[in-house]
Structure 1
Amino acid sequence: MKTHPMRRIRHVATAVAVLACCIATAGLAYVAALHYYSRTHANEVAQRASLYALTLESQLARYESLPRIAALDPVLPRLLAKPGDPALQRAANAYLKAVQTNADLSAAYVMDMSGKTLAASNWDEEGSFVGFDYAFRPYFIDAMKRGTGRFYGVGNTTKKAGYFLAVPVSEGSGAARRMVGVVAIKASLDDYESALAKSGDIVLFVDRDNVAFLSSVPAWRYRALAPLSDAARRALQQTQQYGDASLVALSTRAAMTERADAAQSGPEGQVGPDKLFVAPPGQGSKWFHVHYRPVGPLGWKVAILTDDADDERSAMFAAISAGAATALVFALIWAARLRNSRNQERLRARAALQQAQRDLEQRIAERTAELTRANTALEEKVDALDDARRILRDTRDTAIQAGKLAALGQMAAGITHELNQPLAAVMTLSSNAIRMTELDRPEDLKKNLTLINELAARMGKIISHVKAFARNDATSREPVAIADSLQQALALIESHRKAAGVTVRVASVPDDVVVLASPIRIEQVFVNLLTNAIDASAAAAARREVLVTTEIVDTRVRISIADSGPGIAPHTMSRLFEPFYTTKPSGKGLGLGLVISQAIVDEFGGRLEAKNSRDADSGLGGAVFVVELQRVTEKVTTRL
């Protein structure tokens, strides 16, 4: 039977329309799937970048307070006052060697006001720093001008890279205190770079000029992401930051965004390229997408390079599946229409339907096999996620310990002042005791020795507080008396409280108020909250006071710390517990204290919240921070 021309035209038009619909569906599916996979991949990379950044910042925080502690030893100002004294030079060399060994540093050394090295931990080694002039180094210049110098670069003497930290060395006290030199430490990051090479990612840590100084690909170290400007190249050559490295660009073909994203550039730094056309070892040249995340105090960025080919393949598979599904739907509709036609057409439709069913079964079998492979890959990702959670937990513990060390670094000046007074008295009394021995005055000698014993006990008590706070205790929970924890925390911040001129009132705490926590970590929470309250109260014009109250509510214990400061602004309240967000001036805080405190309280099954005095009963007019912890009824022995 001959087909009518109009029917043939309709069939052709219908086929074209179905084909166009399938292609459009596949195209839309490709765009949507590519957007989804790209966004998911970007989120995963951002999480890994944050993990790399937090791990490096945690490692750098370990070294932050070391030069200030090293500068406290009196042998350094004595040597700087008498640089030609051989005995003082030997004593300073031995002291710096002990600092380098105990802190696992590459080197520790002291320089005079002109930048000349007078003593160093490597004084007896080949490549000793003694006698060399480092006045041109940025860490020396910043330490002289700003009080702290930080720098990463290749050693001018050893030709080995490291992280440098420098602080001034002073002598005298009060208004007569003056700078006499600079003490510096050098720490190696080679172990961290070795760990990057095993991460499975292409990871680069770049400076303000986008020069890679740490890399999971060793051949890319000291390579720029894009060609350097003449001014940047001259500045790097002047400071000799990377020695004789050529600083050539990884690729001359790079794609940049039209706007400078804050996540892609550090303070005063260059915007990094979005894409690079590079050739990793063992692979051909191809385009890589670059993801950035700021890290550290020097304007560094962590850059992760990812290949988008996997996302494109997954999106193409989704597009083919969508097109096939659309074609299948139209095939079923067409089969249903044929069912109502003539018997012959019904038979042909039945045959077409059977064929469609066979195709569907084949596609289902193929899809089942694909889903099985996807399920296997998902299980592998779950295992990787468990490892990532373990790493994140370890990083959180390291961040908590770094927070304690940073707090000790901030309290170092006050603790030094607390120790200097009894130490000066001990020295005076010791001199008097010698004189009394010569004059045969045993009674006066006994009184002097008694006073010396009391002062030594006072210094021992201060040091015991600092040692207990700095200890990296386990995260196991045990009954802890709130009264003891508050007493320990107040002892640690006493010098800060005196310097700020703030009164801290602690309402009576019953001895049976016991919570389930870790003694050292709950003290860290109290130290953070009390320090913030003292800083806020110190800004008040009239009343400078902090009030600490404790109450029992059912099976919970609430500790409230209220200050007389200006309170918490509405725009600040919503961001209060965000990492690295702080309202303090630059250099007064990293914005991690409240984040760490909240993590510790959550770990103990508690709750940390903040509000203003108008929402509480403190009456001081400022902010109120409330720590709520689980109460236990067992009696505990008071810790001394």
Structure 2
Amino acid sequence: MVLAGAAAYHFSARARLAALRIDTQHDLDLLATAVDGSVTRYAHLPSAVGLNKDVLDLLRAPQSEQESRQPVANHYLEQLNDYFGGLAIFVLDMQGTVIASSDWVYSDNLLGQNQKMRSYFQAAARGAPDRYYAIDETRNEAGYFFAHPIRDERQAWRVVGVAVVKVGLAELERRWLPQDLPVLLADANGVVVLASVPEWKYMALRPLSGEVAAEISASRQFADHAIRPFPVSIALEHAASAQVVSFPEVPTLAGERRLKTRDFLVESRQLAGTGWRLTTFADLREARADAATHAALAAAATGCVLLLALFLMQRRRTLKSRAEAQLLLERANAELEQKVGMRTADLTAANERLRAEVVERERAEQTLRAAQDELVQAAKLAVLGQLATGITHELTQPLGALRTLSGNAIEFMRRGDQATAQNNLQIMTTLVDRMGEIIDPLKTYARKSPARPQSVDVAHALRGALFLLDQKLRRAEVAVDNHCQPGTALAWCDQNRLEQVLVNLIGNAVDAMGDCPVRRLRLEAEAGSAGRLRVRVIDSGPGLSDEALAHIFEPFFTTKPAGVGLGLGLAISQDIVRDFGGDLSAANHPDGGAVFTLDLPAAGESQA
């Protein structure tokens, strides 16, 4: 068992280490891309500075005129720096003196400083762009410098100055600090310039040669910071192979967050844009824990093989016990069958009683539906009674016109003017048709008929409901905003009953807006999901309280004053909608007022 566990641990550790390295390399690629992009996006900014006319005029001017031209160049560099968000943008003459800077407004600005010893100035003065990491001694502030030569076309493109952009690395540090594992960024010499473990900063991952150390000291690249050796040896030249390191002490991240392990898998990646190397340290605890688990499972499997031998030895004794158990089982089975027979008889009697109750409930449901139909018809007739005054007004004018035209026709016929009499009769025919159009929706609405689902254009049903409530809408001065166009929304239901529901909803909306300064009724119809259709009635009233939303569809619940309503309209409307496979719901609109939504089956899918 020990040998099996050791072998399983060895192979599992290798497999988990390979998988961990793949994941670490993927994360490292993403982080390297982000770091490289954050730093190198300023690479072309110095070349733009060299094209500015004010900067070129400052470099061309003699020493006596530079003071007067300097403010214009300073303002340009300040605006450019504010737009791109760098630390500073400054211009040096060929003697290495800063003659214009974006930080001119600060007391510790760079104006007048001489950076002749900086390697990036020397390279740019020779005509080659350069990049360089250093600590600014004036502010003790680390940054990455991009330098570019400024050439004058009037002097045969001779280098007349150097444009420098200083980029801060605080954003990169903020991106690393929340991480739970160490990350470091080293320059081309292997010196750590950024690290999520603060004590690693300005440590050398490899020994520095005497020439490199002398150059760093002479240029004061890292100011007064001493370059110390890194706690562990990292083979940067062999990045293609996995490397496991163990620190002498547990590293402590920024914010005094102490890690729980000293052993890490090291992965490194060279950044093409800056020449820096990004290195991450992955925790090995989970991989080693999985390997230990697999070792324990292998040892347990070996133990199971040994137990199998014991099982075979006990087989004969088990077969004997099984025969005795079989006899006891047969006896218990006989007793169980007897009890099942008795229980079946009881269930049969209970089933007969249940059938009788079902028949009684069906009779009660038929009686309830008949009562509901009567209530629906009574509600229709109540609405028709309310509309009687408005219909009388609509018919009074055509009747008066008919009386006048008929008298005129008799007089013209007596005089022999047949053409004028015929014209009057044609006008009378038009008026009679108009009166028929007014009365026909009332006959259809008042007719008591069983529900016959069919393809119904919701726009026609809304038009009929608005016609029936036209006088009420006018008296209440309600502005109707109807967004349902004919032919765009087809529902599978009974048109007469759908109109009944819409009349109830629109009438309730008008009542709710009675005391509101703005009275607007919005009607919408749109296709839903899975062959459904949604019709919305939205008012600009005060909306519904929490208590009203909880009981709005209960019979005899009403928010109207006593004697105005019975509280049956919404309950009946919901039952009508559910009869043809729909639903009615209420809610408060986000812009104010209440919204009632009809969820109806669309015509096409229901017919199929």
**TM-score using structure 2 length:** 0.48
Question: Which has the larger Rg?
Answer: 2
